[in-house]
Amino acid sequence: MIIKNLADFGVLADTIEVVLAVAFMLGGIWLTHRIQVWADRSGEPPAAANTALGGAADRVEEHTFRR
């Protein structure tokens, strides 16, 4: 069944539109989350702010509670 005009559903058209909009928003949030998880695991080097470029011997700072 191909729908050429959502108005063919009459009163249900608004409900269908809202349900689709919410589904697409949630899908976009989920897709963005999955891309971020993939990017975190991709092995990219840390940002320049975290590479201890202030003359320290270590290029990457350890993530500990005590410094």
Q: Return the ∠ at Cα 40 (arms to 52 and 26), rounded to 5°.
A: 135
d(CA 20, CA 46): 38
Domain boundaries, the chain: 1-67
| Segment holding 53, helix H or strand E | none
| Per-residue confidence (pLDDT) for residue 10, from 0 to 100 | 78
Instruction: With CA atoms as reference, report the closest residue to 17 among 48, 9, 42, 63.
Output: 9
Q: Tell me: the pLDDT tens digits for 50-59?
A: 555 555 555 5
Is the full-model pTM beyond 0.85?
A: no
Distance, in Å, from the CA atom of 53 to the CA atom of 60, rounded to the nearest integer, reads 9
Average pLDDT over residues 34-58: 68
Grade residue 25 by pLDDT with cuts at 50, 70 and 90: very high
- Please report the pLDDT score of residue 8 as a whole number: 79
Tokens of 54: 């202030």
